[in-house]
Structure 1
Amino acid sequence: MSKRAVLEVIALDVEDAVAAQAGGADRLELVTEMAADGLTPAPATVAAVRAAVDIDLRVMLRPADGFAAGGPEDVERLVRVARELRDAGADQFVLGFLAPDGAVDLAAVESVVGALDGCAWTFHRAIDRAADRDALRKQLADLPGLDTYLTAGAAAGVDEGLPTLVAEAGRRGEPGYDQTVLVGGGLRLKHVRPLRNAGIDAFHIGGAARPSGWEGPVSEAAVLEWRRALDGE
């Protein structure tokens, strides 16, 4: 447990971003509309957050609830949005699209990634809804910029997915398994030790950083509690 763990916190606005950085977050995932599990924020929000904090910022590219990219026009619109967000200062992203059969929507992912100009990006929890996690990873393995999978190991959350997360962490070095495993989705403090013992060193929290729920802001104290837990204090 010698390597410092990465702590990523979901932020909706500047207030959240400032509190998360003050509490010890290493990175933000910037979204809007958590009632839909996080959609693409406005370019103005990206610019404001980028001006307010200096930690890494990953911006969600997700047009609607669910994991479908939509038709060709929807994908073209998302490509335009990605470019607008780049112009607003975004240089890291979060995305992931599935076809109706649960396979990765490779055409949509490739189209959007093509607009990112090599920026680093996370494939998000769509992997937890995929028909075949291993096949998805191997199909995406060579896409430029992909350095992280945000996953709970199972659609239901970390409680159910913990064995999968530990098993996948042990496959580093295999084709499709070189990316960082960023654990999020029902993540609780009790999960930290077994995950750290498995060699996992990246953690993602949303509701856990908000004692008063999604209607309230990120709590610096709550983030600090996680920071200390990850640091073994």
Structure 2
Amino acid sequence: MAHNYTLEIAVNDYPGAAAAAAGGADRIELCNALSEGGLTPSFGLIRKCLQDFTIPIFPIIRPRSGDFLYTNAEFEIMVSDLILCKELGCKGVVVGFLNADGSVDQEKTERFCVLAAPMEVTFHRAFDRCVNPFAALEVIITAGCKRILTSGQQLAAPDGARLIADLVKAAAGRISIMPGSGVRPENISALATQTGATEFHSSMRSVAPSAMQYKHPSFAAVPDDYVVSVIKDADVREARRNLGLVLTDATDNTDIVG
């Protein structure tokens, strides 16, 4: 018995998208400012990635950092970005709306899904800030989202694996539960076994020195000025390879091919 696993890579820029595609990613979550949890990427970046890569591109629609309680004006901005993504030919978008009481904003989520069609909508880790994950699950399913990105309401998915497994069971195939945050090549197969999830999300980020030869002495000691965040296509390939080692049944020894 074999599973078809999906590996989504969150990228911050064009080089990251190129590395994700070269490494065999199945889908790209396209962001700006991943250090802020991901913000809406630029028009130019979205268009360039759509032109150059054949795998689905899912831009995040998030106009600012901070919480996921949006004003009507912010919602209008998000709708404008959504329409742009639709016109450019994106296969999906990533978004999340909460109410002040920690529940999912069903009205905004439903409106977004209707406007997005036929694009898919992923409800992102705003889910991890909701007060009742199982009530939120039902609201998100009713609203029309295709998947939920979650770390199991912990800082990292490995720590939230038990809740993720419970959500996979509760979802019962009605929506995909996609573990994300702290997902790396070395733990992805264990997460697949522990949770029963078949879609996984990772940024695969590492840091490399900047190629700048000149470093202004006033800024040479600033930690982030002369390093760049990178994705290594080898890491993406390793994660895909490790998904191929997951066993469908602990009682047999048949490898799953991802």
Same-fold status (TM-score > 0.5): yes
Provide the C-alpha distance between the structure 2 equivalents of 1:178 and 1:99, rounded to a whole number of angstroms: 24
What value does the CA root-mean-square deviation take over the aligned residues? 2.1
Q: 1:227 aligns with which of 240, 246, 256?
A: 240
Residues 207 and 228 in structure 2, CA contact (< 8 A), matched pair in contact too: no
SS in 2 for 1:210: strand
Residues 40 and 63 in structure 1, CA contact (< 8 A), matched pair in contact too: yes
Provide the C-alpha distance between the structure 1 equivalents of 2:86 and 2:69, rounded to a whole number of angstroms: 20
Provide the C-alpha distance between the structure 2 equivalents of 1:49 and 1:16, rounded to a whole number of angstroms: 10
Q: 1:179 aligns with which of 175, 181, 206?
A: 175
Match of 2:200?
203
Provide the C-alpha distance between the structure 2 equivalents of 1:52 and 1:2, rounded to a whole number of angstroms: 31
Which shows bigger deviation, 89-98 or 194-203? 194-203
Specify the structure having the higher radius of gyration (Cα).
Answer: 2
Provide the C-alpha distance between the structure 2 equivalents of 1:83 and 1:51, rounded to a whole number of angstroms: 18
Flag the 1:93–1:15 CA change in 2: closer, same or farther, 3 A: same
Provide the C-alpha distance between the structure 2 equivalents of 1:77 and 1:111, rounded to a whole number of angstroms: 14
- How high is the TM-score relative to the length of structure 1? 0.89
Provide the C-alpha distance between the structure 1 equivalents of 2:127 and 2:69, rounded to a whole number of angstroms: 14
Match of 1:129?
129
Q: Tell me how far 1:148 sits from its aligned partner.
A: 0.8
SS in 2 for 1:181: strand
Match of 2:114?
114
- How high is the TM-score relative to the length of structure 2? 0.81
Q: Deviations over 1:52-98 (max 9, x none)?
A: 11011111011111342421111112111111222222230101111
Which shows bigger deviation, 161-170 or 46-55? 161-170
Provide the C-alpha distance between the structure 2 equivalents of 1:66 and 1:163, rounded to a whole number of angstroms: 27
For residues 1-233 of structure 1, what are the structure 2 equivalents within 5 Å?
Answer: 2-144=2-144, 146-173=145-172, 178-197=174-193, 198-206=195-203, 208-210=204-206, 212=208, 215-232=228-245
What percentage of residue pairs aligned between the two structures are identical? Answer: 26
Provide the C-alpha distance between the structure 1 equivalents of 2:235 and 2:185, rounded to a whole number of angstroms: 11
Provide the C-alpha distance between the structure 2 equivalents of 1:105 and 1:164, rounded to a whole number of angstroms: 22
Gaps of 5+ in 1: none
SS in 1 for 2:234: helix
May I ask how many residue pairs the two structures share in their alignment?
Answer: 228
Which shows bigger deviation, 223-232 or 209-218? 209-218
Flag the 1:194–1:225 CA change in 2: closer, same or farther, 3 A: closer
Residues 209 and 222 in structure 1, CA contact (< 8 A), matched pair in contact too: no
Q: Tell me how far 1:209 sits from its aligned partner.
A: 4.2
Provide the C-alpha distance between the structure 2 equivalents of 1:189 and 1:19, rounded to a whole number of angstroms: 15
Q: Deviations over 1:23-52 (max 9, x none)?
A: 111110000011211001112211100111
Provide the C-alpha distance between the structure 2 equivalents of 1:98 and 1:23, rounded to a whole number of angstroms: 34
Provide the C-alpha distance between the structure 1 equivalents of 2:130 and 2:228, rounded to a whole number of angstroms: 30
Provide the C-alpha distance between the structure 2 equivalents of 1:28 and 1:99, rounded to a whole number of angstroms: 28
Residues 40 and 61 in structure 1, CA contact (< 8 A), matched pair in contact too: yes
